[in-house]
């Protein structure tokens, strides 16, 4: 089982979109049983909220639906996950502040797995939800390819059980 948590600031735009996109991708490839996938915000500013409506509409346009309740990440959530995939450099710094600099080896920027590492710009400010979706989709695809190539043992282990 691979535990993956996506993290952004508010947990109402980018990280819940990434959670649903990645869940969908693993389901399509018949790999969902190998993963536990969640998402969190570094802030509690939207605690309990559903996905922000424009982000939800963008998901629906791409054939993905789901409900959500925003949650702030805790140190225990960092400990419980194998991969913490953040959207931007601010998220990374906020998480390292939370952990006192520990667990850096499992915190990655989502788009660091792509051929052009970059931040996923926050559509709360840019209002470009389609661009955020495209960056997230590319990041998730690249992350899954990385796992399949570098961590194939995790998948074969799951298949035996
Ligand atoms: P997210 O976007 O980090 O992608 O969920 C934001 C959502 C809410 C706020 C900021 C960013 N806010 O300031 O409430």
Query: 55 with 17: CB under 8 angstroms?
Result: yes
User: pLDDT averaged over the chain?
Assistant: 95
Q: Which residues pair with 108 in a beta bridge?
A: 85
**Token pair recorded at residue 102:** 């520990």
Q: How many CA atoms lie within 13 A of 26 on its CB side?
A: 22
| pLDDT exceeds cutoff 50 at 161 | no
Q: How many CA atoms lie within 13 A of 7 on its CB side?
A: 31
Q: In b/e form, how buried is each residue of 117-148, taking b as 16+ CB within 10 angstroms?
A: eebbebbbeeeebeebbebbbbbbebbbeebe
> Which residue's structure tokens are 């979706």?
133
Q: Which pLDDT value is given to residue 47?
A: 98
Distance 12 CA to ligand 1 centre (A): 6
| pLDDT exceeds cutoff 70 at 158 | no
Query: 144 with 22: CB under 8 angstroms?
Result: yes
The predicted-structure confidence for 26-62, as pLDDT tens digits, reads as follows 999 999 999 999 999 999 999 999 999 999 999 999 9
Length of the chain: 161
Nearest atom in ligand 1 to the alpha carbon of residue 70 is 5
Q: Which pLDDT value is given to residue 156?
A: 58
**Closest CA to ligand 1's atom 10:** 10
- Three-class SS state of 117: coil
Q: Which of 122, 125, 131 to mutate to test the pocket of ligand 1 (most atoms within 8 A of CB)?
A: 122
CA–chain centroid gap for 55, Å, is 14
Residues whose CB is less than 8 angstroms from the CB of residue 32 and which lie 6 or more positions away in sequence, other chains included? 23, 26
């Amino acid at each position: 089982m691979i535990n993956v948590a996506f993290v952004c600031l508010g947990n109402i735009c980018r990280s819940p979109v990434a959670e649903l996109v990645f869940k969908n991708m693993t389901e399509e490839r018949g790999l969902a049983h190998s993963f536990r996938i969640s998402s969190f915000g570094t802030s509690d500013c939207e605690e309990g909220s559903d996905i922000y409506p424009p982000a939800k509409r963008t998901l629906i346009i791409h054939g993905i639906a789901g409900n959500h309740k925003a949650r702030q990440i805790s140190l225990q959530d960092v400990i419980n996950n194998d991969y913490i995939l953040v959207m931007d450099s601010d998220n990374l710094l906020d998480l390292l502040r939370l952990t006192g600099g520990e667990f850096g080896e499992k915190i990655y920027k989502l788009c660091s797995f792509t051929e052009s590492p970059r931040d996923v710009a926050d559509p709360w400010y840019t209002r470009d939800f389609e661009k955020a979706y495209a960056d997230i989709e590319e990041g998730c695809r690249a992350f899954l390819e990385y796992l399949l190539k570098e961590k194939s043992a995790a998948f074969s282990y799951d298949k035996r059980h």
